[in-house]
Amino acid sequence: MAAGPTAAAAAASLSRPPSSRFALTSRASFLSPVTALLALAVALAGCASLPPPPPKPASSAATDTADTALGRLAAASLAGAPPGASGFRLLPTGDYAFDARVALARRAERTLDVQYYQIAADSVGLQLLRSLRDAARRGVRVRVLVDDLYTGGEDELFATFAALPNVELRLFNPFATREPGVATRVLQSLPDFGRINHRMHNKLFVADNRFSVSGGRNMADEYFMRSAHANFIDMDVLAAGQIVREQSQVFDRYWNSSLAWPIGDVVKLPIVGDAAARRFDELVSAAPPGFAPATSDVLGRPSVDFELAAGRASLVFAPAVVFADRPNKAEVTESAKDAATVTRSVIEELTTARSQILITSPYFIPGEPGIENMRQAIARGVRISVLTNGVGATDEPLVHFRYARYRRQMLRLGVELNEIGPAAADPATFGDFGQSYRRLHAKVAVIDLKKVFIGSMNFDARSAWSNTEAGLLIDSPELAVTLHELVSRDHGETIYRLRLRADGETIEWTWRGADGTLQATTDEPHSSWALRLKMFVLEPFAAEELL
């Protein structure tokens, strides 16, 4: 980690706010260095630190679940699967991805293990917690592990939830300060920045150790097309089979790690028992009753709930591997060459490509090692296509401007660069964005139309070394072709394709206009002089490995 980031840069790099509550003009990344230093001086006076972690009981995923309803459904869904294969279904739209989680929660009988970077106190987050509460009331053991970055101001919600019978909630790498607001919490914790910079970015939902949902989505409105301001294109995958048991083992490692704190050791709740349960019920009653998914998704499939009610989920059978970082990843002092991480594992898979690679990543900073890997792949005849956020769609301008440093190099190599614009996409592809802005959040790689990676990992230094990540590598030509077609569809004026002019220096953004004609400009779409000035001022203070 580079020494000496400003407070503003530290707050900005640590907090990629996934919520539309954080408008671009009010983001921590737009604090001036002078303002940040003044805030730092004030914040240091109130800095707090955590005591050593107390001992806590260990637990593990249930294995005696074959006789549960989900156990029987998983067995029926896997009938005819080849030895060593698990079953998978892509969940490209938010309504179907949320329906899958709720459908599994309603049918769970023994355990629900839930692990997320963010569970927001909005309609989606509250509906999820409500479905977990209902399961706990039926006697299901519920374990929830949530990263502590976005829990500020929501201690009452999570603590009253954890006070329910059959429920445990742990905070990953908690802050000492319980103040609301990411920027405030980071500023008050700057002396401890080396620790709090280590965040758990994993996303996992496991029901009865028989079905799982994993991928890129956090539990907040904007990941499920519920935000009026901005919504994300994302990707999850439903799984059944042996791969789910392996995901549960990863969950257990995080749950039992020294970085997972029972919320009661961090937050002192003044009410207990029935009073806490009543208060939790009051808090989650603010959410709407739920929302029904569309009749069929973009792939022409009915909802997971519908399929389970019919007796089996229709799955694609394939061998797969779980990639997961160790919980204490940021504390390990191995060299970059030898460290075993999700990023390293994915890159090693990419180096096996012989014909083509497709990468989608909202935050894409290849760095010089990434540029060299691309150069070698293209020299072998591999076609590389990248889809990332354009400046008008990103919620992290600092990350985008660092990525922009590498655009010319990539284009000269022959990399196909595509950038998402903020205009709404075709509802038939990723869901109905309404009047909201569109942003990319899916973290996907397709290799030779044979293998797919779906997970939480961005292609940047933050995912490589600061965040913990997880994902699935699935060896399935069927899923690979489907995913490639979804991402590669011509979205007209909503996707910008980049190219170099004959001078080898000037970048052009091209797109198809409403009349189908090819349009081009050398002025970066949706950029402005004010934004460029802010980034020019702040970018030198934000080390690439922090972004």
pLDDT digits (tens, 9 = 90+) for 198-233: 999 999 999 999 999 999 999 999 999 888 888 899
List, in sequence order, every residue forming a beta bridge with 233; answer none if it has no partner: 440
Average pLDDT rounded to a whole number, residues 261-277: 93
Is the separation of the CB atoms in 499 and 510 below 8 Å? yes
Instruction: Tell me how far apart the alpha carbons of residues 329 and 311 are, in angstroms, rounded to a whole number.
Output: 41
242 and 128 housed in the same domain: yes
Read off the amino acid at residue 43.
A
Residue-wise pLDDT for 504-532, tens only, equals: 999 999 988 878 888 999 999 988 777 77
Which domain covers residue 88, as residue numbers? 69-309
74 and 159 housed in the same domain: yes
Instruction: Tell me how far apart the alpha carbons of residues 18 and 198 are, in angstroms, rounded to a whole number.
Output: 17
Mind spelling out the 3-state secondary structure of 18-53?
Answer: CCCCCCHHHCHHHCCHHHHHHHHHHHHCCCCCCCCC
Establish whether 201 is a catalytic residue: yes
Residue-wise pLDDT for 83-125, tens only, equals: 999 999 999 999 999 999 999 999 999 999 999 999 999 999 9
297 and 325 housed in the same domain: no
List, in sequence order, every residue forming a beta bridge with 119; answer none if it has no partner: 219
Rounded to the nearest angstrom, the gap between the alpha carbon of residue 79 and the centroid of all alpha carbons in its chain is 31
509 and 459 housed in the same domain: yes
Establish whether 329 is a catalytic residue: no
The pair phi, psi for residue 135, each rounded to 5°, is -65, -45
Question: What is the sign, positive or negative, of the torsion defined by CA atoms of 40, 21, 343, 170?
Answer: positive
Burial class for 55, CB neighbours closer than 10 Å (0-12, 13-18, 19+)? exposed
Q: Which 3 state secondary structure label does DSSP give 455?
A: strand
pTM of the model: 0.90
- Annotated catalytic residue within 448, 475, 484, 526: 448
275 and 196 housed in the same domain: yes
Is the separation of the CB atoms in 230 and 19 below 8 Å? no
Name, in order, each residue with C-beta under 8 angstroms of 291's C-beta and a sequence gap of 6 or more: 95, 98, 226
Q: What is the pLDDT of residue 426?
A: 52
Q: Which helix (H) or strand (E) holds 518?
A: strand 518-521
Q: What is the pLDDT of residue 31?
A: 36
Residue 49 falls within a domain, yes or no? no
Q: Which 3 state secondary structure label does DSSP give 93?
A: coil
Instruction: Tell me how far apart the alpha carbons of residues 304 and 310 are, in angstroms, rounded to a whole number.
Output: 10
- Annotated catalytic residue within 443, 450, 491, 534: 443
Establish whether 448 is a catalytic residue: yes
Residue-wise pLDDT for 144-163, tens only, equals: 999 999 999 999 999 999 99
Residue 440: DSSP 8-state: E
- Look up the CATH number of the domain holding residue 331: 3.30.870.10
Give the Cβ contact number of residue 474 at 10 Å: 26
Instruction: Tell me how far apart the alpha carbons of residues 170 and 217 are, in angstroms, rounded to a whole number.
Output: 20
Last residue of a domain, one of 283, 309, 335: 309
385 and 354 housed in the same domain: yes
- Annotated catalytic residue within 208, 221, 234, 460: 208
Does the pLDDT value for residue 355 go beyond 60?
yes
191 and 251 housed in the same domain: yes
- Please give the span between the terminal C-alpha atoms of the chain, in angstroms, as a whole number: 11
- Higher pLDDT, residue 339 or 482: 482
233 and 165 housed in the same domain: yes
Token code pair at residue 528: 């402005």
Token code pair at residue 301: 């499939």
Establish whether 534 is a catalytic residue: no
Mind spelling out the 3-state secondary structure of 262-276?
Answer: EHHHCCCCCCCHHHH
The pair phi, psi for residue 47, each rounded to 5°, is -65, 145
Residue 517 falls within a domain, yes or no? yes
Please choose, from the candidates 167, 131, 169, the residue with its C-alpha nearest in 3D space to the C-alpha of residue 147. Answer: 169
Instruction: Tell me how far apart the alpha carbons of residues 274 and 5 are, in angstroms, rounded to a whole number.
Output: 46
200 and 273 housed in the same domain: yes
Number of domains in the chain: 2
Q: What is the pLDDT of residue 396?
A: 86
Instruction: Tell me how far apart the alpha carbons of residues 276 and 524 are, in angstroms, rounded to a whole number.
Output: 52
Last residue of a domain, one of 285, 309, 333: 309
The pair phi, psi for residue 36, each rounded to 5°, is -65, -40
3-state helix, strand, coil split of the chain in percent (to 5) is 35, 20, 40
Is the separation of the CB atoms in 196 and 173 below 8 Å? yes
271 and 369 housed in the same domain: no
Residue 33 falls within a domain, yes or no? no
Average pLDDT rounded to a whole number, residues 307-329: 97
- Annotated catalytic residue within 198, 203, 451, 534: 203
Token code pair at residue 424: 């709404």
Q: Which 3 state secondary structure label does DSSP give 100?
A: helix
Instruction: Tell me how far apart the alpha carbons of residues 225 and 434 are, in angstroms, rounded to a whole number.
Output: 9
159 and 289 housed in the same domain: yes
Give the Cβ contact number of residue 434 at 10 Å: 11
187 and 118 housed in the same domain: yes
Establish whether 450 is a catalytic residue: no
Last residue of a domain, one of 276, 309, 342: 309
Residue 12 falls within a domain, yes or no? no
- Annotated catalytic residue within 198, 329, 441, 450: 441
Residue 477 falls within a domain, yes or no? yes
Q: What is the pLDDT of residue 131?
A: 97
Establish whether 443 is a catalytic residue: yes
- Annotated catalytic residue within 201, 329, 400, 491: 201
